[in-house]
Structure 1
Amino acid sequence: MSALERAGLALLRRVDPERAHGLALAALRAGLAAAPGRLTSDRLRCRVAGLDLPNPLGLAAGFDKNATALAGLARAGFGFVEVGATTPRPQPGNPQPRLFRLTEDRAAINRFGFNNEGMEAMAARLASRPRGMVLGLNLGANKDSADRAADFAQVLARCGGDLDFATVNVSSPNTERLRDLQGKEALAALLAGVMAARDGLSGPIPVFLKISPDLDEEGLRDVAEVALASGVAGVIATNTTLARDGLRSAHAGEAGGVSGQPLFDRSTRVLAHLSQLTEGRLPLIGVGGVGSAEQAYAKIRAGASAVQLYTALVYGGLALVPRIVEGLDALLARDGFGSVAEAVGTARQDWL
């Protein structure tokens, strides 16, 4: 990390977290953030659900909710980027404050509630997106919608023509009763609508399902069964958690979803269990607590074909991206793997 980025991160930590996040996006738009460009190697290049990735490290949804910093993110070294979540109509989300740093835990709590500018604003930005990046959109539902399941399909139908992939997000804990859509029958019906919208696009794209880390064993089995039957391209495991195990920070009691380091073990166990349940028939993307090359590697060996991060950037900045990508390449080489795919699931049993 450069001295300039260290100073910038130190300054941002003195500012309200949501305000700091806005300033970080502004720095990306202005070209002031780290921009290593394309990071790849023969070992790191991978194909996931038909997507050709230069490396397996992606940016999770939520960082750039409204796709306002795509040019900067395209140069940041990620193998793929996910923006959103986006709902059919704009909505303000929950009242502020709604984002809290848990510095002692290297974590965050958010209760944003799908604040975003809506699918029309998103569609306009996607139409002029950088074409050299692998870009996906996280699909959401309006809080006051009469038919939340239909909202996901509506956003995909409007925005899908300029995407490389889309993600169905029924796992955010911050929209009341949204997680109810993870139930077997509700999820099957929702995904049928989304896949019909996907099939109506001029060029169908892979659709992923993002799940909660708080599912019990029966719920996880149901999700695996529905995912396999629905035609989705893969599963993203996981979203934030409502658990508060072991947190030390002053804001630990705030309502919302916990992300960052405390989520790593929980989300990786869910990932490994889902890998076992799906028997390699669906690619999985591991997210939750990734903040180092070693943690990215652990997710891959637990069953992930690719990984995502977000909260770690609060503490390590965009300089983390080349550090993790290059470190992952070295770890794969150390253990004799010629590709990411060769390492997927090789330590799954350690997490079961």
Structure 2
Amino acid sequence: MLPYFSICALLIVTITLSPATAAPWNEKYATREYVYPPLWELAPENLLDFPVKGNKIVINAWNYQERLGMYKNLLKSSAKYFTAFGSQNIGNILWGLPSQHGWQFHTGRLADPSRATSCGYEDGDLLCISVRSWWSNINYYLAVIPFLAAVEAGLFGQLQYQIEILPPEEQRADFCYSVADCRSQVPNLMDEWKAYFEYLLSTEHKAVRPATFSSFQLDDALGLMWKAHTTSNAYAVPKFQDNLKYLSVPEENFGIDWATGVDFIAATYFSTDLPTVNSFQAFLPQRMLVEGDVPPFISDFSPQQNRVLLSLKVLSKANELTGGLLLKLWEKSMSTEAGREMGRKLIEGLVSGQKFDLVGIYNYLKEADLKASSFLRKSSSGIL
């Protein structure tokens, strides 16, 4: 059995893998230009910018620019709810989705990893999104499902056309292509994303100041958004396990570690506004991992990128060794606003190199939920 302190230490030690080298966190937002996903300005920003055939708006979700356009429409149509959180819609918490999509495109993670086609490569169709890409298939459930759920919730108002998503050339049965189709195939995913957009819509009449379109608790919105996000991941990650075979072993491991890391991040209700996403995404690997890449010794990665890769690996391995109990304990500890604030500080420290009082953090986690501690000690008996 792994002692309770050791389990917590496995999680927390990832924060102190290198000395503090970054500027104080608040300084990162000062005098900076925001980074938008590649080709953001060219992506369709209105639904009628997509092709209309008959009585349907037809969207090719296997084209980077058109999938990006779905995100752009979501950001634009929900902008009015976030006016109190910054100008130019930078406070919108949906920025994490298109930013991740843009990072995947920029780093070649949406291209055909088998190299059987030129999909996603400069010598072929650069904007093509390959159905053989593990990353692109996971992202489908974080793009098409939120988009269609928003349509169903009424975020875009009353539409005169139906929405149809074009299928890929392979694995057609692995996806859904309309509101009705997705409602039938993945009702739970549609419900979770619809609940987020319905929450935004429900706040319109609650505005307390004339200059504010709506009034809502950001913590509540983040909770609903992250619940929907993790529900999509929980469905898609095991569904596309076979696509991992096309990746190098280091890239495959990183993908699995990243998916695990998202669950820990989600529990803190981490803000995914544009400034925050910009700051964190700079520390993700800017190319596909290849054979021989071993963090923290990847020479063309920054110290922060190496540290994040190693931290994710340690975190994922610790969670695996405890049979998922580490995540359960973390989620219990994040069940209050104070707990989530501590969790967000831990994540910020992971990428910035700040050091924390390990004893103090351990005591906090231990006292946050004594029942979770007892459950962990009992349940982990015999696992390790």
Normalization by structure 1: what TM-score?
Answer: 0.34
More helix by share: 2
Per the normalisation by structure 2, the TM-score is 0.32
Richer in strand (by share): 1
